[in-house]
Structure 1
Amino acid sequence: MAQSTPAPVPELKTYNGNCHCGAFKFSVQMPDIKSVVECNCSICFRKGYKWAFPGEGPFTIERGGGDLKEYEFGVKSMVHKFCGVCGIGIGGSRHAAPPGQQLGINVRTLQDVDLWALEVNKYDGCAIAPAYEAPKYKGPEPTAEIENAKTYTGSCHCGAVTMALKTKEPLSGGSEHIQECNCSICARNGTILTYPASDQVHIENKGSLTSYVFGRGFQSHEFCGICGVSVYIKKLDVSDEAWEKESGKGRSKEVWKGICPVNLRCFDCVEWDAIQVKKGYYKDVGREYVVE
């Protein structure tokens, strides 16, 4: 009887990864990443995870292992880890998985990976019981005066922060710009942003948010300090001199300040199948992103 030929062992490639601020850096050895898993469960969708599972390949913390925060919920089958400084989700560890399959890496954190070029494998995590019950929004309606407005409500994952967004029509109508971006922070956060006026948004319990500021220092990325979900971008006070120097002429600072970018992933009942999410190619715009 002819003996079967063992399957070839895939060659391992070393990937370097980091959160955005660089407080946490790591390396992992795994086969060449050509595809990722996208899960639609409540936490994976909010954080925009793109999962890869390195198996038994070495995972080495290069810096900052103690700076990661942990978040568990429900039946606590998995611990999710994120940077407490910038909020970036690094990945997670599955408690009951077989040996060598516990660790999941958020590919968004890896350097030199073209996220939009990867094949995506969908996973229906929403079908796994128990069902996630979205926190209820109990705050006031946003103050924008819009006739026949549509109001969406949402939250971070743990419910410490809830919010409302008022639009002049359903988001599927196309009146609000909706975008994902490949810049250093948005690519890692996995955010899908829309850019309403500030009076179209109300956010409850902002005290539970952690602010992360970098680069020009014009705005802060606000994320929940408990579950790590990115919520919105807060515009900061900027001097006229700094604005002219960093933003160039022709842009209105006042118009810019009046916009409140929010992470649409946080909102319930969004018509995802009917809306167009544009791609923003801003990775190489402005200052070069470098992590020491």
Structure 2
Amino acid sequence: MKKTYRGSCHCKAVTFEADIDLAQGTGKCNCTFCWKDRMWNAGHLKPEDFRLLSGEEVLGDYGKSGDWGEGHHRFCTKCGITTHGHGRLEVMGGEYVSVRLSAVDDLPVEELMAAPIQYMDGLHNNWQSPPTETRHL
């Protein structure tokens, strides 16, 4: 069941709300970006499930695109914390938003730990399979 969570970057310049159903799972990936960012996200959100409340003017954007689609990692240019991402991937049903769970301010640890995790082998472009090792993710 969807629940509305509030989140922010470290300095609170960027704030947001997101309607997330943690029972649908969370995601961790081993691609070089996710590994370096220690990304743990709630993805597969529809754009209407995410509301940026403040900080549009301080959001930085690291984006990539190609035949596979388009993805943007958004971060606060004041404190550097990544808060969310968005883009278009047909494999995910088109337009999507993902929220960095580390940026959610009111997520009880118990709820986070109860959420299923899907591991993706982005390092080898094998997105439909988990990597052989996940303990470090």
**Structure 2 length-normalised TM:** 0.73
* Residue in structure 2 matched with residue 140 of structure 1 by the alignment: none
Matched residue SS, 1:46: helix
- Identify the structure with the greater strand proportion: 2
Counterparts of residues 11-160 of structure 1 (less than 5 Å): 11-32=1-22, 35-53=25-43, 54-55=45-46, 57-73=48-64, 75=66, 77-97=70-90, 98-99=93-94, 101-113=95-107, 114=109, 117=113, 118-128=115-125
Q: CA RMSD in A?
A: 2.7
Which gives a bigger RCO, structure 1 or 2 (Cα 8 Å, sep 6+)?
2
More helix by share: 2
Q: 1:103 corresponds to which letter in structure 2?
A: V
Flag the structure with larger Rg: 1
2-side partners of 1:56 and 1:95: how far apart? 10
| C-alpha distance in structure 2 between counterparts of 1:96 and 1:120, whole Å | 20
How many angstroms apart in 1 are the aligned matches of 2:89 and 2:24?
26
What aligned pairs does 1:186-201 form with structure 2 within 5 A after superposition?
none
Identity in percent = 23
Q: Is this contact kept in 2: 1:30–1:57, CA < 8 A?
A: no
Aligned residues: 121
* Kept in 1: contact 2:22–2:116 (CA 8 A): no
Q: Which amino acid aligns with 1:106?
A: R
Q: Specify whether residues 56 and 92 from structure 1 end up closer, same or farther in structure 2 by C-alpha distance, changes over 3 A only.
A: closer
Superposition deviation, residue 96 in structure 1: 3.4
Offset at residue 74 of structure 1 (A): 6.8
Specify every segment of 5 or more residues in structure 2 that has no aligned partner in the other structure, as ranges: 127-132
Q: Which residues of structure 1 form unaligned runs of 5+?
A: 1-10, 130-272, 278-292
Task: Give 1:57 deviation, angstroms.
Answer: 4.6
Over residues 200-250 of structure 1, what are the superposed CA-to-partner deviations in whole Å (9 max), with x where a residue is unaligned?
A: xxxxxxxxxxxxxxxxxxxxxxxxxxxxxxxxxxxxxxxxxxxxxxxxxxx
Q: Distance in 2 between matches of 1:32 and 1:96?
A: 21
Instruction: Report the Cα offset of residue 107 of structure 1.
Output: 1.1
Helix, strand or coil at the partner of 2:28? strand
Instruction: Verify the 8 A CA contact 2:20 2:42 in the aligned structure 1.
Output: no
Helix, strand or coil: the match of 1:70? strand
